[in-house]
Amino acid sequence: MEYVNPLTGFRVDGRRPNEMRQLKGEVGVVARADGSALFEMGNTRVIAAVYGPREIQNRGQQVNSNEALVRCEYRMAEFSTGDRRRKPKGDRRSTEISLVIRQTMEASILTHLMPRSQIDIFVQVLQADGGTRSACINAATLALADAGIPMRDIVTSCSAGYLCSTPLLDLNYIEDSAGGPDVTVGILTKMDKVTLLQMDAKLPMDTFENVMELAIEGCKAIATYIREVLLENTKRLECQRG
Amino acid sequence: MVALSEGEKHFIRGGIEQDIRTDGRRRLQFRALSVETGVIPQANGSARVRLGGTEIITSVKAELGKPSILHPDQGKVSIFVDCSPTAEPMFEGRGSEELSAELSVALQRCLLGGKSGAGAAIDLSSLIVVEGKVCWDLYIDGLVISSDGNLLDALAAAIKVALSDTGIPKVNVSLSAASDEEPEVDVSDEEFLQFDTSSVPVIITLTKVGRHYIIDATSEEESQMSSAVSVSVNRHGQICGLTKRGGAGLDPSVIFDMISVAKHVSQQFMSLLDSEIAAAEAEAAE
Amino acid sequence: MLQSKSFVKKTKQGRIQKVVREHYLRDDVYCGFVPCSACDAAAERKLDAAAAAILVVDTNVVLHQIDLLENPAIEDVVLLSVVLDEVKNKNLAVFNRIKALCTNKARRFYVFANEQHRDTYVKDMVGESSNDRNDRAIRVAACWYQSHLGESTKVLLITNDRDNKRKAIEEGLNAETVESYVRSLAQPGLLDLVVVPTSGDVTMEDAEDHRPSKKKVIYNEHKPMSEVTSGLRCGIYHQGKLRVNRYNPFEAYVGSESIGDEIVIHGRSNMNRAFDGDIVAVELLPQDQWHESKSFIADDDEEEEDVHLAPNSADDAPRNTSSTQSTVGSSAPSVSSRPIGRVVGIIKRNWNSYCGSLEPMPMPAGSRGVAHALFVSKDRRIPKIRIQTRQLENLVNKRIIVAVDSWDVLSRYPSGHYVRTIGDIGDKETETEVVLIENDINTRPFSTQVLACLPPLPWTLSLEDLSNPNRQDLRHVRVFSVDPPGCRDIDDALHCTLLPNGNFEVGVHIADVTNFVHPGTPLDEEAAQRGTSVYLVGQRIDMLPKPLTEDVCSLRADVERLAFSVIWEMTPDADIISTRYTKSVIKSCAAMSYVEAQARMDDSRLVDPLTVDLRNLNSLAKIMRQRRCERGALTLASAEVKFEIDSETHDPLDIGMYQIREANQMIEEFMLAANISVAEKILKYFPLCSLLRRHPSPTKEMLEPLLRTASSVGLNLDVSSSKALAESLDNAKSNDPYFNKLIRILATRCMTQAVYFCSGDLTFSEYYHYGLAASLYTHFTSPIRRYADVVVHRLLAAALDIAKLPPIFQDGPQLTGIADNLNYRHRNAQMASRASVELHTLIYFRTRPTDTEARIVKVKANGFIVFVPKFGIEGPIYLTPRGDKGGDWVVDEVHQRVTKPGTNISYAVLQTVRIHMEVVEPQPHRPKLQLTLI
């Protein structure tokens, strides 16, 4: 299958290889959470809710009393994929993604400012169309910011792949299932540090560099967008206050 | 979990006594309702319903299946509810299983009728494609995104809205000569079967706090209840299902009283919901 | 800039699923019109300002009129993405042609992504068929173009769809049919290219009044697609690719996976209008109808066997002699074990354009108007094709190309249209071009992009090359090459040095083509596409541009050249002690021909170092050859012929068998050894992505003709393994000196062809090379003329860690695709070479009727097939007049003997007969070589 039309240069959904899907971010979508956000990358739609910092619920989980405990759970809604299939909760994939998100977010949260407390991040996938991992991280960043949790930097994530000898930004589900490599990158945007890097499949070294660079470009574009959303939100809150 | 101080508890109970609740509502008043349809494009029908701080997403997916041997002339409908931990940290892991199961069963009871399928809110025989061979299986999934009390009523409302949004593709069946073979099914891309949702009931839960009962209770208010009765009522004022929750016993006369109140409130709620659905559909069509 | 638009689609993948895809609409899709000022200045532009009209074509115009579009008279065409997508779904071959037009810089064909443009995307409407929707999209795009370009530029919608045209005109567009547009161009020749829509068939029927079968339904209707699919599913029908017998166009085979066997299809009516290569649905006939047709030389009234070059492998050989019929003979009823069926539907057409000529016919009186003619393809598998033309007098004695358009049940032959003229029939250049076209050989000059990849010329060895630590300087070594006379593309050179310990250092140096051809460059892509150089009589079509082929890469004498070397240390008994691979710099001291090298070795007076090296190599080669034969390698023989060509007229002056000398065998031996060594090395490093060459063992069925012939002369061959066969061939002796060679030639043609493959696609046991009795083999030694060797060079360089493995090797399917293409090109190149030899044989005998000796290789009911050793050709000799199905003669299948009852005249297989060879013209301008018994 041609994932990049050789005559028009467009991808199956009409994007160019280095274009991202349409983004949408919204904070404060879960009324009772301390912070929450909805994040969409095209048809991929996730909700993140943050509870905390609050008292540690289960003392046994506390590792270091000088730092806040960060916990994360990733869940797919039954209807989030084309195939409706009941999956057991806490399957391996979900556990792995939960872990990845937790570690990525932990890297940006100033945990030492909140000793003996815990922060829960819950991400719920409403629709999956490729790049759920990235969308969850972006949603979690927005939700943490909404909860007012101190962070070093904004973490954003984006994936890129390599199909038809072309590096492609932000793969959707069809492209993701094409069997090509899928590089997911998460960066601390201002510090320019990579906090998350995952890839499946094989890729020659020099191609990999190009693909990863493209993914980093994507992360930066998302960071710009996330800042806009937060700024917008702050302005709105300011207005409401007076 | 709602942790309340004695003062707060007193305040809530007192407010209900006086017919002015903490958020300024009267006892038989709903919170602000907002409805959105088509939120899950991959589903055949979907809805998002917000009732105050409670938010539900429901999706309806239709798959072709085989009717059961007992009811060869009926399709199948199943309802599953899941409570996302985004709504409540307590729902983390397996924490929501008990509540999800309770809600699922309550909804099934109110919407699907008895074992025979009789009295179901959804006309199951309209789901049949070829009798005894092919039928539609509807999977209704409710997801609690945000929870601030009265989940059951909100879920039932969301299901009603999602069903009204549901279009089932029209199928052409070519029966092959040999009757024992699987019939060939061809799905049309354009034409859809719309559901008649007028008979789908709404659920009204009356929560008893002290001597009085209220509708659309928030989490705080629910923490003060002694018992609650959920009544599902259809457009014609018929009662389709009933569930009593909570430990305290109720005087039968109070129950009758509650039912008649619920019936009255349900008609208001139904017309409110109808106008919201119409507005949401108009918006989706744009 | 992004505009999102989700739309809903339903697919069924067993289950019913709702699929949602995003579809982005954009405002940065540009019109491609040169003077347009509204569009982005940097965008690609193709449509000429001076164009009389900008043409927008619909899908059917592309599908059916592709020959017209390819004509340079048609320019300034806009191809909408909706049209391209539809074309791609319906006919991949046409799509590739239109794609080539769109990417050709010399043509003004512009692709407009209308589905992505904000203003030209159309939503599906309820109740609208996808055809109507696409037609609407085409009209909307045409309207957009008209309003975008303004009134001064005419936008013309070309469509043959009456409804679409009417709607377009109603919407204020300019629209015309293909025919009326072409008429307006006033170039009469162009009109022949226009495919007449089916409504035009009426006139065709009129023209065929003399046919008795005028209104008769000749073929069964094809079953509707829905019935075919359900039939396939429940196993009544079987799907497969139809393969027509190259030697008997009335017999075809369909390889069916569901049956696991080939279904035989007899006769045109059972083939039911299917062409060679079509994907068809077949219904089996009841088992009691599984008869075999009897084997005559000529199978049908209008077909006959030609004199042709003796086949070299089973793939070239006629298949129509089925084993059952012949072995069982007359004693058993002739019911075949092979399933027989008939075609009920065509799933995918493989229609193409074909080379051939018009059937001779009287010139119609007053031939100014449209004439109808029958076209006969050179490829005998293709039926005759009816065409209509306005230029009959120009076409009668020409080789022309014709494309097929349709085949109606009422019509005995398919209808097609004229595409272009190649030249006069029988003319050497024309016929050579026919050979090249028929075998899909690219003879176009190399493009400027390809030539831009060449190193600066003249190329000389640079210091950089010398200082490269991976490149060994072997200029001091006495390297030399031995090749056929006049060889300009010298791939390989050798050296042989006596070491102090009494062993020999033997080096095989191969042109370092990959030093100049880098992966992913246009040069590399072109070479990969061509796959191999093609050698015709007196002509070579190069895989790589001439400067590389003849100079920069060629290991010529007395110049410094880059090489890739395999160097062994060998004992005098030819045991390999060590093997080493390196890139190198060499300077060949002599480029000899086989004859020269042989003469040196034979001349005992010569004791110069070069001659000594040759003799040493030769003695090593003899031992190696001996060992190889002991392992079971087959010494096969083929009837290769050689022409002596007049240097001015390029006509053949003399013809004879190619003589194989010891020197040839010596070089061959070291090339085999190098290839095997390299195969071992690359497979060790890249077990999943090495390109290897295998030779599958022949099946019992394939060896059947050989065994039958052998047993009829009392020879018992053991074919249980290649070793057994090699031994029994060695033992096949008689007092006839040519007997052994003849048996070997017959054995050779029972073999399959060796093929390239990707090591990841097969298991180790399948890697076996039967003919060479080698467990591993590949091609390393001819990178100038074979792309497989280029691939192997890259693998070897990566295995030695002196270069990175190109990314393509990570991609299994693509690698398999490369191997498939190489096999296809390789086979075509062989077919073309053979066809070229056949052509020159014909030219040679045109002026030289000859009497010669021939050997009978096959006996038939009405004659026999003879093989002429001297000229390497094979052809029929008829004992009875044509059309008479041999009542006078009796065939003894067991002894392969044909006898005339009542006389003692009989002919048996392998018998020597004297024949007369002469070119005759049974029909004017249709010369053919005829063999008759003296």
Nearest CA in chain A to B56: A30
Q: Which residue has the tokens 């509204």?
A: C38
Residue C30, both tokens: 């540009």
Contact between A8 and C116 using a beta-carbon 8 Å cutoff:
yes
Contact between B42 and A124 using a beta-carbon 8 Å cutoff:
no
Beta carbons within 10 angstroms of residue C149's beta carbon: 18
Measure the CA–CA gap between C372 and C418, rounded to whole angstroms: 11
The CA dihedral of A4, A7, A12, A18, to the nearest 10 degrees, is 50
Show residues of chain C in contact with B185, CB under 8 Å: 16
Phi and psi (nearest 5°) for C376? Answer: -110, 120
Measure the CA–CA gap between B177 and B183, rounded to whole angstroms: 9
Counted residue by residue, chain A has a size of: 242
Neighbours of chain B (3+ CB pairs under 8 A): A, C
Could you tell me how many CB contacts below 8 A there are between chain A and chain B?
Answer: 93
Counted residue by residue, chain B has a size of: 286
C458 prior amide bond cis, ω within 30: yes
Q: What is the DSSP letter of C223?
A: P
Mark whether C401 and C480 lie in a shared domain.
Answer: no
Mark whether C107 and C139 lie in a shared domain.
Answer: yes
Mark whether C761 and C870 lie in a shared domain.
Answer: no
Beta carbons within 10 angstroms of residue C302's beta carbon: 9
Mark whether C623 and C761 lie in a shared domain.
Answer: yes
Q: Which residue has the tokens 């872990």?
A: A99
Measure the CA–CA gap between B106 and B201, rounded to whole angstroms: 13
**What's the Rg (C-alpha) of chain A?**
18
Note whether residue A80 is domain-resident.
yes
Domain C-terminal end among C188, C214, C246:
C188
- C749 neighbors C857 (Cβ within 8 angstroms): no
Domains in chain B: boundaries: 6-285
- A193 neighbors A217 (Cβ within 8 angstroms): no
Measure the CA–CA gap between C408 and C414, rounded to whole angstroms: 7
Residues with Cβ < 8 Å from C331, sequence gap 6 or more?
none
Phi and psi (nearest 5°) for B258? Answer: -60, -40
Residue C647, both tokens: 């240097």
Q: In CATH, what number is assigned to the domain containing residue C376? A: 2.40.50.700
Instruction: Tell me which CATH code domain B6-285 carries.
Output: 3.30.230.70
Domain C-terminal end among C835, C851, C886:
C835
Contact between A7 and C25 using a beta-carbon 8 Å cutoff:
no
A169-194 residue pLDDT tens:
999 988 988 888 899 999 998 888 99
Q: Give C79: exposed, middle or buried? Use CB within 10 Å, 0-12, 13-18, 19+.
A: buried
- C214 neighbors C205 (Cβ within 8 angstroms): yes
| pLDDT on residue C661 | 78
Contact between B44 and C18 using a beta-carbon 8 Å cutoff:
yes
Q: What is the DSSP letter of C118?
A: T
Question: At residue B49, does pLDDT exceed 50?
Answer: yes
Note whether residue C370 is domain-resident.
yes
Residue among C2, C25, C102 minimizing CB distance to A7: C102
**Residue B88's closest CA among B36, B13, B26, B145?**
B145
**Residue B215, Cα to own-chain centre: how many angstroms?**
16
Residue among B54, B61, B89 minimizing CB distance to A120: B89
Q: Which residues pair with A162 in a beta bridge?
A: A167
**pTM (whole model) above 0.80:** no
Note whether residue C434 is domain-resident.
no
Q: In CATH, what number is assigned to the domain containing residue A154? A: 3.30.230.70
Neighbours of chain C (3+ CB pairs under 8 A): A, B
Check residue C260 and give left, alpha or beta (phi > 0: left; psi -120 to 50: alpha).
Answer: left
Put simply, whether A84 touches C (Cβ < 8 Å) is no
Check residue C473 and give left, alpha or beta (phi > 0: left; psi -120 to 50: alpha).
Answer: beta
Q: Return the H-helix or E-strand segment holding C10.
A: strand C3-13
**Residue C338's closest CA among C405, C287, C277?**
C287
Q: Give C578: exposed, middle or buried? Use CB within 10 Å, 0-12, 13-18, 19+.
A: exposed
Note whether residue A70 is domain-resident.
yes
A49-101 residue pLDDT tens:
999 899 888 888 877 888 999 999 999 998 888 776 656 556 888 899 999 99
C373-430 residue pLDDT tens:
888 888 878 888 888 887 887 788 888 888 888 888 888 888 888 888 888 887 888 8
**Helical ranges in A12-149 per DSSP H:** 92-106, 132-146
Q: What is the DSSP letter of C760?
A: G
Handedness of CA C137, C142, C144, C145 (dihedral sign): positive
**Helical ranges in C749-808 per DSSP H:** 787-799
CA distances from C518 to B257, C162, C521, C809, C863 (A): 88, 52, 6, 14, 56
Q: Which residues pair with C511 in a beta bridge?
A: C563
Note whether residue C65 is domain-resident.
yes
Measure the CA–CA gap between A238 and A232, rounded to whole angstroms: 10
Show residues of chain C in contact with A12, CB under 8 Å: 21
Could you report how far apart the first and last alpha carbons of chain A are, in Å? 57
Measure the CA–CA gap between B71 and B68, rounded to whole angstroms: 5
- A162 neighbors A168 (Cβ within 8 angstroms): yes
Domain range for C648 is: 448-696+752-835
Q: Which residues between 99 and 118 in chain A have a beta carbon less than 8 angstroms from any beta carbon of chain C?
A: none
| pLDDT on residue A91 | 82
Show residues of chain A in contact with B80, CB under 8 Å: 78, 86
Residue C682, both tokens: 């690359």
| pLDDT on residue C294 | 47
Mark whether C409 and C485 lie in a shared domain.
Answer: no
| pLDDT on residue C209 | 43
Nearest CA in chain C to A173: C21
Helix (H, G, I), strand (E, B) or coil at C738: coil
Note whether residue A3 is domain-resident.
no
| pLDDT on residue C205 | 39
Measure the CA–CA gap between A51 and B84, rounded to whole angstroms: 13
Handedness of CA C818, C822, C825, C827 (dihedral sign): negative
Note whether residue A2 is domain-resident.
no
Q: In CATH, what number is assigned to the domain containing residue C918? A: 2.40.50.140
b/e code C783-814 from CB counts within 10 Å (16+ = b): bbbbbbbbbbbbbbbbbbebbebbbbbbeeee
Bridging pattern class, strands B167-174 and B184-194: antiparallel
Mark whether C660 and C513 lie in a shared domain.
Answer: yes
Measure the CA–CA gap between C891 and C906, rounded to whole angstroms: 10
Residue A216, both tokens: 């980093």
Contact between A84 and B61 using a beta-carbon 8 Å cutoff:
yes
Mark whether C559 and C476 lie in a shared domain.
Answer: yes
Put simply, whether C224 touches B (Cβ < 8 Å) is no
Measure the CA–CA gap between C400 and C375, rounded to whole angstroms: 9
Measure the CA–CA gap between B216 and B221, rounded to whole angstroms: 9
Q: Return the H-helix or E-strand segment holding B203.
A: strand B202-209
Put simply, whether B86 touches A (Cβ < 8 Å) is yes
Residue among A8, A42, A202 minimizing CB distance to C22: A42
E strands, B99-133, are 128-130
- C261 neighbors C338 (Cβ within 8 angstroms): yes
Put simply, whether B190 touches C (Cβ < 8 Å) is yes
Mark whether C507 and C628 lie in a shared domain.
Answer: yes
| pLDDT on residue B118 | 65
Contact between B85 and A89 using a beta-carbon 8 Å cutoff:
no
Q: Give chain A's domain count.
A: 1
| pLDDT on residue C298 | 43
Note whether residue A4 is domain-resident.
no
- A165 neighbors A133 (Cβ within 8 angstroms): no
Give the residue ranges of chain C where pLDDT is below 70: 1-16, 196-216, 247, 289-337, 363-369, 636-641, 646-650, 656-657, 861, 881-888, 893-894, 923-925
**What's the Rg (C-alpha) of chain B?**
20
Degrees (nearest 5) of the Cα angle C797, C801, C807?
Answer: 70
Average pLDDT of chain A? Answer: 90
Helix (H, G, I), strand (E, B) or coil at C804: coil
Show residues of chain B in contact with C124, CB under 8 Å: 190
Mark whether C88 and C179 lie in a shared domain.
Answer: yes
Handedness of CA B17, B20, B21, B27 (dihedral sign): positive
Measure the CA–CA gap between B68 and B127, rounded to whole angstroms: 13
Q: A13, A22, A29, A32: which to substitute to probe chain B, counting the most B Cβ within 10 Å?
A: A32
Mark whether C137 and C13 lie in a shared domain.
Answer: yes
| pLDDT on residue C300 | 41
Mark whether C413 and C508 lie in a shared domain.
Answer: no
Measure the CA–CA gap between C78 and C30, rounded to whole angstroms: 12
Count helices and strands in chain B by DSSP H and E runs: 5, 12
**Residue C676's closest CA among C569, C792, C574?**
C792
Question: At residue B152, does pLDDT exceed 90?
Answer: yes
Residue B137, both tokens: 């299986």
Q: Give chain C's domain count.
A: 4
Nearest CA in chain C to A179: C811
Contact between B80 and A86 using a beta-carbon 8 Å cutoff:
yes
Measure the CA–CA gap between C216 and C205, rounded to whole angstroms: 12
- C47 neighbors C54 (Cβ within 8 angstroms): yes
Measure the CA–CA gap between B241 and B153, rounded to whole angstroms: 13
How far apart are the CA of A6 and the nearest CA of chain B, in angstroms? 29
Domain range for A30 is: 23-241
Domain C-terminal end among C188, C220, C244:
C188
Phi and psi (nearest 5°) for C781? Answer: -95, 0
